[in-house]
Amino acid sequence: MSSFSIAWLDLREPADFAAREKNLVQHALDWLGQKTDPISPDRILVDLGSGTGSTLRSLTKLGATNFVWRLVDLDGNLLDEALKHHGKQLLIEDYQADLTVVNELPLTGANIVTASALFDLVSADFCDALIDRIDSRKTAFYAALNYDGTTQWSPAHPLDETVLAAFNQDQRSDKGFGPALGPTATDYLKIKLENAGYQVQIAPSPWRLTGEHKTLVENLIAGMAAAVADDYGIDAAALEAWKAFRLEQVTTGTCMIGHWDLLALPAK
Ligand SMILES: C[S@@+](CC[C@H](N)C(=O)[O-])C[C@H]1O[C@@H](n2cnc3c(N)ncnc32)[C@H](O)[C@@H]1O
């Protein structure tokens, strides 16, 4: 399963929805509601790295109505999947575009720019350029499910810390945007957005995974082991033993993965 396959995004979506900090979404919707124009009630939401539309589905479930959903992703298959799901019920504009070309992102008229599970992949330079663009239009900003570097397994294994340290180092490698912010993403965004005059709220949104999430956890274990296999000096046999132990525990063990959600509203 590739990192951003439809199957992987489908697998993580229920855990993401459960983890999202619902109060932040409510604040965003309340703020956007105050902007409603009775003549033209549609507001424009631009979801960056939208995948198949997980943000759209989550916000709709939490009460978002009257939006033009502008979905932006490099992967046309994921956008097609989003249109297949919702094209007839919702107003969706799909843009197959590379987010790194920040000046060409379709932000015209946007009331809010959103993203889920994206900002730990991006670089500081990308954030700076994006914040310049949204700030120039006083657009609201919601970035959910940014990994914070914490992973707690139960039961523990002696190699957990070694694997996690290597995994977190790997999270800082280039994911197509330059050196990734990885676990520092939320802090970086918060400081930069506050410096730009935004009112920023952050809240934890951890994944709390149990045997119910067996397939997700199995994929997570395989992904972590693959990410740290080559470049971090971990003994291959020890890593195999860690992976085998972790896979044995998926039904009865637990895993907590830390994320943070962030909402930034422009000053009035
Ligand atoms: C972790 S997935 C999250 C997808 C979706 N937001 C969700 O929560 O299910 C990251 C998404 O970013 C997209 N992406 C990664 N790099 C990109 C780039 N340079 N330009 C546009 N999209 C990109 C991927 O195709 C993928 O859909």
Q: Establish whether residue 120 lines the binding site of ligand 1, counting it when its CB lies within 6 angstroms of any ligand atom.
A: no
Confidence band of 268 (pLDDT split at 50, 70, 90) = low
50 alpha carbon – ligand 1 mean position (Å): 6
pLDDT in tens, 225-256: 999 999 999 999 999 999 999 999 999 999 99
* CA separation for the pair 242, 134 (Å, rounded): 44
Q: How many other C-beta atoms lie within 10 A of the C-beta of residue 160?
A: 17
60 alpha carbon – ligand 1 mean position (Å): 20
Confidence band of 88 (pLDDT split at 50, 70, 90) = confident
Overall average pLDDT of the 169-182 stretch: 97
Overall average pLDDT of the 23-33 stretch: 95
Predicted local distance difference test score (pLDDT) of residue 137: 86
Cα three-residue angle 123-70-202, rounded to 5 degrees:
50
pLDDT higher than 90, residue 41: no
Q: Can you tell me which atom of ligand 1 is nearest the CA of 51?
A: 27
* CA separation for the pair 194, 233 (Å, rounded): 39
pLDDT in tens, 94-137: 999 999 999 999 999 999 999 999 999 999 999 999 999 998 88
Residue of the nearest CA to atom 1 in ligand 1?
117
Q: Establish whether residue 78 lines the binding site of ligand 1, counting it when its CB lies within 6 angstroms of any ligand atom.
A: yes
Confidence band of 34 (pLDDT split at 50, 70, 90) = confident
Overall average pLDDT of the 192-221 stretch: 98
6-13, long-range: CB < 8 A, 24+ apart: 6/52, 6/77, 6/78, 6/81, 8/219, 9/51, 9/52, 9/54, 9/78, 10/52, 11/215, 11/216, 11/219, 12/54, 12/117, 12/216, 13/54, 13/57
Q: Rounded to two decimals, what is the model's pTM?
A: 0.96
**Residues with Cβ < 8 Å from 259, sequence gap 6 or more?**
19, 144, 145, 146, 147, 148, 204, 205, 206, 207
Overall average pLDDT of the 5-15 stretch: 97
158 alpha carbon – ligand 1 mean position (Å): 33
* CA separation for the pair 145, 157 (Å, rounded): 26
Predicted local distance difference test score (pLDDT) of residue 2: 45
Q: Average pLDDT of the chain?
A: 95
Predicted local distance difference test score (pLDDT) of residue 252: 98
Residue of the nearest CA to atom 12 in ligand 1?
49
Q: Kindly report the three-state secondary structure assignment for every residue of the chain.
A: CCCCCHHHHHHHHHHHHHHCCHHHHHHHHHHHHCCCCCCCCCEEEEEECCCCCHHHHHHHHCCCCCEEEEEEECCHHHHHHHHHHHCCCCEEEEEECCCCCHHHCCCCCCCEEEEECCCCCCEHHHHHHHHHHHHHHCCEEEEEEEEEEEEEEECCCCCHHHHHHHHHHHHCCCCCCCCECHHHHHHHHHHHHHHCCCEEEEEECCEEECHHHHHHHHHHHHHHHHHHCCCCCCCHHHHHHHHHHHHHCCCCCEEEEEEEEEEEECCC
pLDDT higher than 50, residue 1: no
* CA separation for the pair 219, 246 (Å, rounded): 11
pLDDT higher than 80, residue 49: yes
pLDDT higher than 70, residue 152: yes
96 alpha carbon – ligand 1 mean position (Å): 11
Q: Establish whether residue 6 lines the binding site of ligand 1, counting it when its CB lies within 6 angstroms of any ligand atom.
A: no
Q: Establish whether residue 194 lines the binding site of ligand 1, counting it when its CB lies within 6 angstroms of any ligand atom.
A: no
Parallel, antiparallel or unpaired: strands 140-154 and 67-73: unpaired
